[in-house]
Amino acid sequence: MLGKEAVGTEGFPDGPGVYIMKDERGRIIYIGKAKSLRKRVAQYFRDKSSLDIKTQVLVSQIGSIEYIITATELEALILECNLIKKHRPRYNILLKDDKNYPYIRVTLEEEYPRLMLARKMKKDGSRYFGPYRSSYYVKQTIDALGRLFKVRACSKKISRSGKDRACLNYHIGRCMAPCQGSVSREEYRSAIKQICLFLSHRLEELISLLKKEMESASQRLDFEKAARIRDQIEAFKTMAEKQKVVTTSMEDLDVIASARSGDSACVQVLFIRGGKLLEREHYFLENLEGVSNGALITEFVKRFYSATAFIPKEILLQYEMDDKEVIRQWLGDKKGSAVNIRVPKRGSKKQIVEMAADNAAELIKNFSERMRKEKEEAYSALEELYSALDLEVFPFRIEAFDISNIQGVQRVGSMVVFEEGRPKKSDYRRYKLKEGRGPDDYQSMREIVARRYKKCKGDETAILPQLVLVDGGRGHVSSVEDELEALGLSLTVCGMVKDDRHKTRGIVRKGREVPLETLKKAYRLVASIQEEAHRFAISYHRSLRGNAQVRSTLDGIKGIGQKRRTELLKHFGDISKIKEAGVEELASVEGMNRAAAQMVYEFFRK
């Protein structure tokens, strides 16, 4: 690690790698990659006047820089993508709603595969499709495909004898029941192949395959099966007719274009499969001051394709990218074949890019207008609150605290943050409180306030709120004020009080209650802050209770120690998913083997 004062051409290797910039408090604020670490880092400090405003602010906040050496620039690119997704640094270009989008997982490693929702792609023998924008869409798709193809939804281990009793799904016509031998492995696998064709957007190939199966069933006089396949064909034909043809060539393309408004941008992605526009997605990016169009597209492509399961043969862009050859190599390695990335200059493909850009322009226009109205409403609510409470400083940043417990047991606290009247979820914090004090809300509130602010005294870089809100009345406010005074901090503290129906009633300020019923905008803001603080505390409390239950359950399984319990929870999320999992899926978890997986599987089926 090098401090800012030590940064120069010396100290950094003249080779590829990733550099990690941190502020004075050790928080990661920027992650980048370089072909030459020495040359790239030196660029930040040679001529600061040539840097854009955003980069100048970044440089002023650097406390230290760490680096990781890689063998190639391609390795540096992959590592950079992974680190940015993990740490989400403030000065990197981030998708506004960046998160783990869901995938559809087809468990091809199982003899009779299933369809499942997955949050991460793993090298476990399964095939993944996605990512998709919402888990609701994934669940609906899995349900629809399950009904149409009658594949199993259970995690039951299917014996080779095929003489198990079928479940209810078979009797209501929703499963082929491989467990009781009602379908051959080949026929079941054929249905899975058809599902994969559908999820790969190869509808015409799927329809052709189904027609052959329908004809074969008719020739065998299996008219019931032929009728079922006919209905499937009609359903897929309807889908195919709704898809718009945008290019005469039967090829797979992704088209990426953007539009900007101020320091925000919208990136539109068109997914073209077999020459037809199947779907489109849009993503918003913020804090882009000083970022060129080429840099914007470059960063988006890296973020987007680091998470997607399918990479097309060709990607059409609106602007030329930085690091184009490295990214082309990276995507080619992921796909297993060459990927063409280009900016079309004429013809139908240029028109498709322009169509994507027009869509992005309309979306960013609507987004900017919506954001403008939201900011105006939020600022108006803050002004109303500022005036009603007679505050000394305008409350740009508000921090609110709440406590959650059940009869004084397993007490937790939460802190939510609102900046300029809107939630800033990256600054939310939660606290597991000390046991043994009983249901003492005042002491619990003092504890979380002390833990939040104890390091702030004398720290000029500390971010402090203009207003502290606590869930409670005069006693809660007084206890928090006493704690802050002991810490040597002078912050304005108010209490949020509720009525008999547990709805926000007013705010306690300087020992008196200020009613909010006539202040509609301020009321909505305070009520939303109080509800959010309560929700965040309750969700943490539930997760702790759930984890405790899972730990106590898994403790009883022979061969499952602390490390394996942790990995199982990390992989599946909750006890119900572990109960449903098959041996193969359990064995695929890091740290597990087949013997341990068998023990877990049998434990839940005693």
Distance CA 414, CA 535 (A): 9
Higher pLDDT, 217 or 415: 415
| pLDDT tens per residue across span 431-483 | 888 765 555 788 889 999 999 998 887 777 788 999 999 998 899 999 999 99
Asked if residue 115 and residue 70 are part of one domain, the reply reads no
* Separation CA 519–CA 541 (nearest Å): 33
Supply the pLDDT for residue 153.
Answer: 85
Residues 360, 433, single domain; the answer is: no
Alpha helical stretches, state H, 220-292: 223-242
Structure-token pair, residue 413: 């606290």
252 vs 261: which has the higher pLDDT:
261
| Residues in Cβ contact with 36 at an 8 Å cutoff, skipping those fewer than 6 apart | 14, 15, 16
pLDDT at 2 over 60: no
Residue ending a domain, among 344, 366, 388, is 366
One domain for residues 187 and 264: no
User: Is residue 233 one of the residues assigned to a domain?
Assistant: no
Tell me: do 194 and 159 sit in the same domain.
yes
Q: Flag the least confident range among 42-51, 107-116, 311-320, 484-493.
A: 42-51
Q: How far apart are CA 82 and CA 94, in angstroms?
A: 13
Q: What's the CA gap between 210 and 191, in Å, rounded?
A: 10
Distance (Å, whole) CA 47 – CA 49: 5
Domain of residue 300 covers 253-366
CA distances to 26, 41, 430, 541 from 450, in Å: 21, 39, 13, 20
pLDDT at residue 354 is higher than 50: yes
Q: Given a cut of 90, is residue 130 above it in pLDDT?
A: no
Query: What's 40's domain CATH number?
Result: 3.40.1440.10
Pairing relation of β-strands 127-129 and 493-498?
unpaired
CA–CA separation, 103 and 97 (whole Å): 17
Q: What CATH number is associated with residue 482?
A: 3.30.420.340
Name the domain count of the chain: 5
Task: Please state which of the ranges 33-37, 86-90, 155-159, 170-174 shows the lowest mean pLDDT.
Answer: 155-159
Query: Is residue 392 in some structural domain?
Result: no
Residue 149: CB atoms within 10 A of its CB come to 19
How does residue 248 score in pLDDT terms, banded at 50, 70 and 90? Answer: very low
Domain match, 344 and 434 both = no
Q: Specify the pTM.
A: 0.64
Question: Does one domain contain both 462 and 403?
Answer: yes
Q: What local confidence, expressed as pLDDT, does residue 361 receive?
A: 94
The arithmetic mean of pLDDT across residues 266-291, rounded, is 83
- Rounded CA separation 150/188 (Å): 9
Cα distances from 386 to residues 118, 379, 531, in angstroms, run 46, 10, 20
Report whether pLDDT(301) > 50.
yes
How high does pLDDT run on average in the chain? 83
Looking at residue 543, what is its pLDDT? 67
